[in-house]
Amino acid sequence: MLRQVARRLMSNMPESTVYGGPKPQSPSRRVTLTHLRQKHRRGEPITVVTAYDYPSAVHIDSAGIDVCLVGDSAAMVVHGHDTTLPISIDQMLVHCRAVARGASRPLLVGDLPFGSYESSSSQAVDMAVRFLKEGGMDAIKLEGGAPSRITAAKAIVEAGIAVMGHVGLTPQAISVLGGFRPQGKTVTSAVKVVETALALQEAGCFSVVLECVPAPVAAAATSALQIPTIGIGAGPFCSGQVLVYHDLLGMLQHPHHAKVTPKFCKQFAHVGDAINKALSEYKKEVENRSFPGAAHTPYRISANDVDGFLNELQKMGLNEAATAAAAAAENVETAGRPSEGTC
């Protein structure tokens, strides 16, 4: 009986642990690749959210999301560009560090931006190392399945860094794709999606993102692979799903963002409407001087110190300033008194 209880309590302990770690997984512990593999083996969907800063990372952490992806889509969502291409490695590292400070539980994956890994495998490894050492990431993601990308992925894995692949619509390749166009819609294109995913698995990737491909293609890739697939606009048959934080919250209501918010994104809230309402109310209350009121004017100066302050202002020849300070002190004092008839 005792043996059965011990076995049950240790059922999620990774095999062949060294030096006492990693620890058993629980909702409050850091997600590891072992944890993701266990979920995949059990057929449990993996949750991924793309985020770019400390506040969003804190929310993702609190929600118990498995993976937080710091995406190069920050170029569009945060910096207002029309594509992901302009963002630099240094900008990405700023976003990575902010997310790493806010998320203590999810596995953190950083997106290698366009131009940071294409020249050579050596360049790819160097950039990946920076994401871990300077950005606080646990793994990196790279796009595409050209032979050079497969070689780069393999070199990064061999350097001891976990890699997430990305096939289908690869936004960094819009120059050759002719824009943000879905992939896998013809026999040749569909086969290429599956073949590329298999090649990335062979290179050592721990997971592959499938973006904007038909559901049957995603289902085939998921079945063919032994590693998890993470779908985005790829239907319900992937091992997990990823959406951008701002998109799923319905945060961005500006016409520019209406243009870039993808058709496949479900808005689980309409936070943008709440933000717009709050900003309008703030503007109104500032303009009619109802904010800040007494409740939001918390810092006090004693009556004796007010008198001393007024005297000093008068000595300085600042009589109007003294009058303004006296009127403010009287206003705050009056506002802070209980109204007649209250206890």
Q: In the structure encoding, which two tokens stand for residue 234, read together?
A: 């790829």
What are the backbone angles phi and psi of residue 111, rounded to the nearest 5°? -85, 120
Cβ atoms 113, 148 nearer than 8 A: no
For residues 287-299, one letter each, b for 16 or more C-beta atoms within 10 angstroms of the residue's C-beta and e for the rest, the string is eeeeeeeeeeeee
Q: Which of 256, 141, 132 is nearest to 207 (CA)?
A: 141
> In the structure encoding, which two tokens stand for residue 244, read together?
């951008």
As annotated, the active-site residues are 211
Closest CA to 66 of 42, 92, 90: 42
**Helix 187-203 and helix 147-158, axial crossing angle in degrees, nearest 10:** 20
Q: CA–CA separation, 259 vs 145, rounded Å?
A: 28
End-to-end alpha carbon distance in the chain: 64
